[in-house]
Amino acid sequence: MADEHTHIVSSFDEELTRLNNIISQMGGLAESQLISSIRSIVKRDSELAEKVILSDQRIDVLEQEVQDFAVRLLALRQPMADDLRQVVTALKLSNDLERIGDLAKNIAKRAQVLNQIPPIRPVQAIPNMAKLAQEIIKDVLDAYIESDAEKAHRVWERDQEVDDMYNSLFRELLTYMMEDPRNITASTHLLFIAKNIERIGDHATNIAETIYYRIKGEDLPGIDRPKNDAANFAVVEPND
């Protein structure tokens, strides 16, 4: 009887490991998509932007794999306590990572348009903001793999840096548009790109909160803090 119980526990652990591996793969792809989408702007490379757009489907497929696998685990294993939190965490993370992939795809779509018009100076601020977001994604994925609640907390705190960079860029782009109407088209696309990067930071923050709860069994301290986003406005992007 003990051997059978050991086998069941071992089998469940293997299934959780597989689930974690899919999440890690999704995270790596999402991070790569962000890097490539920004590079397509800096290099004015519309072919690279198209690759980002087409590659988004790989993340969607992995999200569906996580959903199907997690639902099967919940139905067949009926996990409790920490095991249940691990499965639910994977479900939540897959959704946030899929959204990060969508946002990177939206950036690539904007890049294709930007690459057809003369560049303006604030373009240089976009890679800096994206680099910070990419570092946050990498660190939060490390926190997930290492089950490190403190690292997840530190990642969560860094989101304010992304917000501050976004607010600064927002004001700079508004100034450009007011100074010369010829800058309006490019500046508008850059505003949407910056907002997408800021939202990527928000999804990384969601992931950090989910990881912290998974490990500690309680909400992250300060989770209800208001966002200091002086330039907050609605951004609606196509999800096709």
- Model confidence over 155-172: pLDDT tens digits? 999 999 999 999 999 999
- Asked if residue 222 lies in contact with residue 160, where contact means CB atoms within 8 angstroms, the answer is no
- Asked if residue 111 lies in contact with residue 46, where contact means CB atoms within 8 angstroms, the answer is yes
Q: What is the pLDDT of residues 178-223, one digit of tens each?
A: 999 999 999 999 999 999 999 999 999 999 999 999 999 888 877 6
> Does residue 140 have a pLDDT over 70?
yes
Angle between helices 125-146 and 2-42 (to 10 degrees): 170
Span 218-233, average pLDDT: 65
Please tell me whether residue 225 adopts helix, strand or coil conformation.
coil
In this prediction, residue 5 carries a pLDDT of: 44
In this prediction, residue 81 carries a pLDDT of: 77
Please tell me whether residue 25 adopts helix, strand or coil conformation.
helix
Task: Name the average pLDDT for the chain.
Answer: 88
**Both tokens assigned to 183:** 């800058």
Q: Which residues contact 1 (CB under 8 A, 6 or more apart)?
A: none
